[in-house]
Amino acid sequence: MTSAHASSRATAAIPAQATFGAAGGLIGGAALGIMMQVWDMMPMVAMLVDSTSTSVAWLVHLAISAFIGITFALLAGHRAAKMLPAAALGLVYGAVWWVVGALWLMPAKLGMPVFEVNEMAWKSLVGHLVYGLLLGLAYACIHQVMRQDHTGSSSA
């Protein structure tokens, strides 16, 4: 009975963690999107879905950001519940997605050279690190606030 209760509680935590991750992903994605807008990178995002619309680019970018945030939450889980580990994990995760997304998948989809590191790629790395840091910190903040609400305790 005890293990069944613990198992159902862990299973119930997955949707909550995914929600926290999506929120963190959107927060990080907003920051990265602003940077990409300033650096005139959004047209490439729109091209992923055969569009030239900046609005479409933002929708695609934020959808990807939420998805990446959800996968962060599912992979990191409670390891990212505190600020310092969440920040470190977020930075690493942002760097991984820079390699996977910005250097490999996106250029491959657009028929561009993959793993090409140039000035734009370095800017993209900075943006992905900011994304990952904000994702991790937002995830930890939301996790802590929701845990306090759930337990009824306060750290003050």
Could you tell me which residue, 5 or 133, shows the higher pLDDT? 133
Distance, CA of 129 to CA of 39 (rounded, Å)? 16
Q: Would you say residue 32 has pLDDT above 80?
A: yes
* Contact call for residues 139 and 20 (beta carbons, < 8 A): yes
Residues 145-155 have a mean pLDDT of 64
Tokens of 126: 């900075």
Where does the pLDDT of residue 154 fall: very low under 50, low under 70, confident under 90, or very high at 90 and above? very low
- Least confident range of 2-11, 37-46, 97-106: 2-11
How far is Cα 39 from Cα 53, in angstroms, rounded to an integer?
Answer: 16
Confidence band for 1, pLDDT divided at 50, 70 and 90? very low
Res. 107 pLDDT band, cuts 50 70 90: very high
pTM, two decimals, is: 0.87
Averaged confidence pLDDT in the chain: 90
Asked if 85 and 133 touch (Cβ cutoff 8 Å), the reply is: no
Q: What is the mean pLDDT of residues 67-78?
A: 96
pLDDT score for 12: 60
